[in-house]
């Protein structure tokens, strides 16, 4: 999962609550621009404390798990032929 995907998930959680970016920013003590950049996956590093605060706001946690192995060239060629 990359920064853009994380941002998209955070945006979805925010919208499910019916919150504007401004309202979410006020709840976690950051600027609306920070929330905007976070949701777009742009800007500087948001910092783990802010990310954890945002996740807590939505009763979510961070999970660390083994990453999947990337596909081999043979896997990609086989998939393409299907």
Q: pTM, whole model, 2 decimals?
A: 0.74
Pair of tokens at residue 22: 């401004």
Please report the DSSP string for 4-68 in residue order. HHHHHHHHHHHHHHT--HHHHHHHHT--HHHHHHHHHT-SS---HHHHHHHHHHTT------PPP
Q: Could you read off the pLDDT of 30-82 as tens digits, one per residue? A: 999 999 999 999 988 888 999 899 999 999 998 888 888 888 888 888 888 76
Predicted confidence at residue 75, as pLDDT, reads 81
Number of domains composing the chain: 1
Which domain covers residue 69, as residue numbers? 1-82
pLDDT of 23 above 90: yes
Predicted confidence at residue 82, as pLDDT, reads 66
CATH of the domain at 65: 1.10.260.40
């Amino acid at each position: 999962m990359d920064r853009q995907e994380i941002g998209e998930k955070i945006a979805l959680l925010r919208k499910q609550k019916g919150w504007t970016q401004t309202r979410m920013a006020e709840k976690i003590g950051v600027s609306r621009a920070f929330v905007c950049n976070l949701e777009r996956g742009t800007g500087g590093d948001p910092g783990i404390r802010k990310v954890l605060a945002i996740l807590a706001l939505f009763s979510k946690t961070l999970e660390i798990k083994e990453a999947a192995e990337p596909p081999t060239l043979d896997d990609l060629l086989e998939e393409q032929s299907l």
